[in-house]
Amino acid sequence: MNKNKIQIIIDGKKIECEKGKTILEVAIENGIEIPALCYHSDLKVNASCRMCLVEIKGIKGMQTSCSTKAEHKMDVVTNSLEIRKARKTNLELIFAQHREECNDCICKFNCNLLKLAKSYKVDIAKFFDRKTNYSVHKFGPALVFDSSKCIDCRNCVEVCKKQGVGFLEIKEKDGFFQVVPSKDKNKDCVYCGQCAVHCPVGAFEAVGEFEDIERCFEEKDKLLIFQFAPAIRTSIGEEFGLPYGSIVTEQLVAGIKKLGAHKVFDVSVGADFTTVEEANELMEKIENKATPCFSSCCPSWVKFIEFYYPEFIPHLATTRSPQVIMGGLIKTFWAEKENIDPKKIIVVSIMPCTAKKYEIQKKELEVDGLKPVDYVLTTRELAYLFKKWKIDLKNIKPEKQDNPLGIPSGAGVIYGATGGVMESALRTACAKTQKSGRLKIEFKDVRGSDGVKTALIKINNKEIKVAVVNGLGNAKKVLEELKKNPKLYDAVEVMACPGGCVGGGGQPVPVDAKIRQKRAQALYQIDSKKEIRLAHENPVVKEVYKDFFVSKKIIHKICHTKYSRKKREVEIPKD
């Protein structure tokens, strides 16, 4: 046996595993079911829910499998009568601190807590609710935290700290420990939504817009246009039982049309425009020796800079995000082309991101007095609507995206994965400056889920230093390095969420590193099969730059923005 391997027994089955793994990790890897609510592979173990109890022969009492390391020749039992009794009692106590509001909960169609209650035949109302004094906190236009649903697993606090934000804290109240937003005016939420995707019980949700959206369908004098982000096509299928990373682009379009949308466009086309403008900015900053140039399409990252590191604001690319550029094009270029009054158009974005709800409220993004995007629904919220109206993506007849804003380049699609923005910009920058030789299309050095990836890239005979940063916690480290050495990098891409948009705060749960990887791999698979893989070669991009972007003023109006130092936006809670 390999010296880094050990052998343990779980429920009579001999299993070889790596040293250092916990019993729960070994069980998960080998398809052995042990219930666990508070455990998440992204975070350190708290062992608070005590649902993962097991018995170990030779050790008195039950142990939490999430916190107990597997040891050589350890003999583990996961499902005895005593274990089931203990788990049932623990689950009843969990329900005593979790107020059930199942009808309007985002977990309604996929609730692990209710599944466990059914499995263990739990009376969810056996004990009185212990949390009689609770509060609901709204974090801007993006997130809502209902403390009455919280089961004190502390995943949200842990992930917020890991993100380098530390906005969520633990406070003792009425004899219980409760999660609360910080009172420190020097801390603020950046709306990344990682609290939501790491919450096992739906205590955190995106600000819901179901009723508003459904009212839009009733407005007969309005034209309802949906657009969906690159990352949605490889994640929403999970909500309908499809394997992780399943590509459901055309099923998604068909589902949205069935809801009542008049047109369905692809935000990946907007990403092609973002790429062209951001590549131009990068080359200009290099030429003027004003590097580094930071990516700017992630609103959580932009808010992080504006609030925590305002001294770096001049380094943010002024290029707008793909959804905002697309919304602007729909209400200008497309409206003019179709002879439609822009005021009659309602644009709804389907985003993997809760921070996009915050982004669309920014006054500085308005085009001719109109918001480019009127509503944002997360992936989970759209799946909720599909299920409510009995639209099953697994069994729907596919439909293609609408033209002319429906067919992206491969470069636009990979925006959904960490490194995708950088790779897209590098493709265009190289193509526009390279005089001869074979053009490099793929930049695999910037792909993958490492916290920080660095590479030296040659553009127009100049070597530029690039960094791709995965998660705000890692971004904080890079920014501190740049304070000491401002010339460390020429270009920096940052995505607030682990894995990029594939791991966004509005994506389906559960999510972990392996799931994010499968979603990302599917995006690169789409890119590899595209006939056009360079953003600036997309026919609609060429058409718009030729016939509509006839002046720098128009380009700036649709494609660029400005930033400013931010004060705390989330209200400080009272005692």
pLDDT at position 3 = 78
pTM given for the model: 0.94
The burial class, CB within 10 Å (0-12 / 13-18 / 19+), for 559 is: buried
pLDDT category of residue 127 using cuts at 50, 70 and 90: low
pLDDT at position 550 = 96
- The span from the CA of 449 to the CA of 542, in Å, is 33
Structure tokens at 198: 């790491």
pLDDT at position 1 = 63
Decide which of 3.40.50.2000, 3.30.428.10, 3.90.25.10, 3.10.20.740 is the CATH code for 5-79: 3.10.20.740
Q: What phi and psi, each to the nearest 5 degrees, are found at residue 421?
A: -65, -45
What would the 3-class secondary structure string for 430-499 be? HHHHCCCCCCCCCCHHHCCCCCEEEEEEEECCEEEEEEEEECHHHHHHHHHHHHHCCCCCCEEEEECCCC
| C-alpha distances in Å from residue 202, one per residue of 117, 235, 539 | 16, 19, 43
CA nearest to 10, candidates 81, 77, 82:
77
pLDDT at position 195 = 97
pLDDT category of residue 215 using cuts at 50, 70 and 90: confident
CA quadruple 436, 441, 442, 445: dihedral, nearest 10 = 40
Q: How far is CA 249 from the centre of its chain?
A: 18
Decide which of 1.20.1250.20, 3.30.70.20, 3.40.50.300, 1.10.287.470 is the CATH code for 94-207: 3.30.70.20
Domain ranges of the chain: 5-79, 94-207, 211-559
Predicted confidence (pLDDT) per residue in 331-377, tens digit: 999 999 999 999 999 999 999 999 999 999 999 999 999 999 999 99
pLDDT at position 434 = 80
Residue with tokens 């682990």: 498
Mean pLDDT score of the chain, rounded to an integer? 93
Predicted confidence (pLDDT) per residue in 147-202, tens digit: 889 998 999 999 999 999 999 998 876 666 788 899 999 999 999 999 999 999 99
pLDDT category of residue 129 using cuts at 50, 70 and 90: low
Instruction: Summarize the confidence of residues 442-467 as an average pLDDT.
Output: 92
Predicted confidence (pLDDT) per residue in 383-432, tens digit: 989 998 999 999 999 999 999 999 999 999 999 999 999 999 999 999 98
Its CATH architecture, for the domain 211-559, is 3-Layer(aba) Sandwich (3.40)
Would you list the DSSP string of 278-292? HHHHHHHHHHTT---
Percent of the chain whose predicted confidence (pLDDT) is above 70: 97
CA nearest to 232, candidates 104, 111, 376, 373:
376
Triad 109, 111, 112: Cα angle to 5°: 145
- The span from the CA of 288 to the CA of 362, in Å, is 30
Residue 441 has pLDDT above 90, yes or no: no
CA nearest to 10, candidates 61, 41, 60, 54:
54
| C-alpha distances in Å from residue 100, one per residue of 125, 152, 193, 201, 353 | 9, 15, 22, 10, 25
Collapsed DSSP state (helix, strand, coil) of residue 49? coil
Instruction: Summarize the confidence of residues 291-304 as an average pLDDT.
Output: 97
For residue 155, which amino acid is it?
N
Residues contacting residue 455 through CB under 8 Å, at least 6 positions apart: 443, 445, 446, 465, 466
- The span from the CA of 331 to the CA of 344, in Å, is 9
Structure tokens at 101: 């509001």
pLDDT at position 132 = 61
Residue with tokens 């990979």: 414
DSSP label at 514? H
Judge whether 5-79 and 211-559 match in fold: no
Predicted confidence (pLDDT) per residue in 463-508, tens digit: 999 999 999 999 999 999 999 999 999 999 999 999 999 999 999 9
pLDDT at position 131 = 60
